[in-house]
Each structure stands twice: as C-alpha cells, then as structure tokens.
Amino acid sequence: DSLDKALEWCEDELLVSEGVLPLSESAPAMAVLGGSEDQRWQLLDDLLPQPDGSRRKDRDEGAPINGEAQQKSGGEADAVLTRALGELYVTHLFKQEGDTLYRAGALVNGVYFIGYGKVDVFMPTKIHEGLGPGFRGRKRITRACQGGLVGASEMILHKRHQFTAQARAASSIFFLNKAKYARMQRAHPALAARFQQAMLQSMAIGVLESNMADD
C-alpha cells in the first residue's frame, strides 16, 4: 500500500507539473453529482473510438464549420450511442472511494468504462504473497482514469477475473454486461464494433505497458 501511495503521488505530481489536474480532481460537477442523462451518454459516446478509429475530440478539432459537411453518413449514424441505446445496453454506476467493482476469482460478467474518477486494478495481498518469499502486500497492476477500461482482457480471454478492481476516488462508471454486449452485436453491430475496438485498444495498451515494465 505504501508503494502504491508513493506511485500515486508521483503520478499526480507529474500531471500537475504539466499544468494538468489529476482527472479525479478535475471532473466536472455533473460527473460527481449526476448531471443530465443526455450529458452522461454523450460523455460515453465521446470516449468511445469513432467508426473511422479516431477519437471525437480529434475529429472536432479538424472538422469543417459547414453544418452540412458535419452531418453523419448512414453508417456513422448507426454507430452513435444515443441515450435510448445507452439505457438499453449499458448500466451507469457511481462508485465511491474504496468501492469494489469486482474481485479476483469472480466470474467475468462484463467490462467497465471509466467516465470520470480513477480505478485501480491490483493483485490482492493473499495472492501476491502466495507467489513466494519477498512478495508482500497487494500489487497494483494498473490504474484507469477517464476513458480507460477495466476488465477488457478478461472479458475477451477469461471466464474469471485474475485481479481485483477498486475505485480510488468518486467515479462515474459505465458497465457493459456480456449478455447485453452479445445482443448489441446482433442488433446494432456498428455500435458494438466501437465497444469492441475500445476493448482491443485497452488490451494493446496493457501489453505495451507490460513490455515497458519488463524492459
């Protein structure tokens, strides 16, 4: 725990040194207090990869002002996460610091998208210390903030969670259930493809971070 706290302090100090507040501290009031339903689903739509692989922010910065040129094609419209589709497939959750999203060993039943806040994924003390002498306390595997995912690799590759996920600050979280994701793939494949791309990107980042840590 002491090492985790030291790493957390270093991460936050690096953000502050670059003129950026830690995401958990810079979240708008609407994310913590609830905001409107439309804002909530707009946030998730903005965080998901766009059909062409870009992020909404990147598209908006280079988008023409002409309203007609900004209109979406039929394919793009099918991939938009509207409030109705969000409420049909995704569950929105508010988690307080210390709340657990899932525990190591539990059955995998979905994936979590972080709207605001921060979530730590870690190896519990019992499992970590069971690796042998010299392994003490729990071991943090990764931290997810705005736009991050937790449980993506387990959603795709495993039946049970390998680690535990816990909120480290008040967090706004979107949960996509496995069964509802399967329904989305059948009924709204263009939208499901955006969620799939987000999960694959999260897995790729996880592999990259792991390789960098090994080096």
* CATH code at position 204: 2.60.120.10
Is 147 within a domain?
Answer: yes
Q: Quick check: 11 and 143 in contact, CB under 8 A?
A: yes
Contacts of 54 (CB under 8 A, 6+ apart): none
Is 6 within a domain?
Answer: no
Q: What is the CA radius of gyration of the chain?
A: 18
pLDDT of 95 reads: 95
pLDDT of 114 reads: 94
Is 66 within a domain?
Answer: no
Q: What does the alpha-carbon distance between residue 113 and residue 174 come to, in Å, rounded to a whole number?
A: 5
Domain region containing 201 = 26-60+79-214
**Sequence letter at residue 164:** T
Q: What does the alpha-carbon distance between residue 170 and residue 30 come to, in Å, rounded to a whole number?
A: 12
Is 146 within a domain?
Answer: yes
Please, what are the averages of pLDDT over each run of 10 residues along the chain (215 residues)? 65 64 50 66 92 57 38 68 96 95 93 93 72 72 88 87 92 96 97 95 79 59
pLDDT of 11 reads: 67
Is 8 within a domain?
Answer: no
Is 73 within a domain?
Answer: no
Is 19 within a domain?
Answer: no
Long-range CB contact pairs, 51-54, < 8 A, 24+: 51/75, 51/76, 51/79, 51/190, 51/193, 51/194, 53/197
Long-range CB contact pairs, 128-132, < 8 A, 24+: none
Is 127 within a domain?
Answer: yes
Q: What is the DSSP code string of 116-168?
A: ES-EEEEE-HHHHHTT-TT--S-EEEEEE-TT-EESHHHHHH-SB-SSEEEES
Could you tell me if residue 210 is left (phi over 0), alpha (psi between -120 and 50 degrees) or otherwise beta?
alpha
Q: The whole model's pTM is what? A: 0.75
Q: Tokens 């991050």 correspond to what residue? A: 148
> How many beta carbons lie within 10 A of that of residue 140, not counting itself?
17
pLDDT of 157 reads: 85
pLDDT of 4 reads: 61
DSSP-derived letter for residue 62 is T
Token pair belonging to 148: 């991050």
Overall number of domains in the chain = 1
Q: What does the alpha-carbon distance between residue 37 and residue 105 come to, in Å, rounded to a whole number?
A: 34
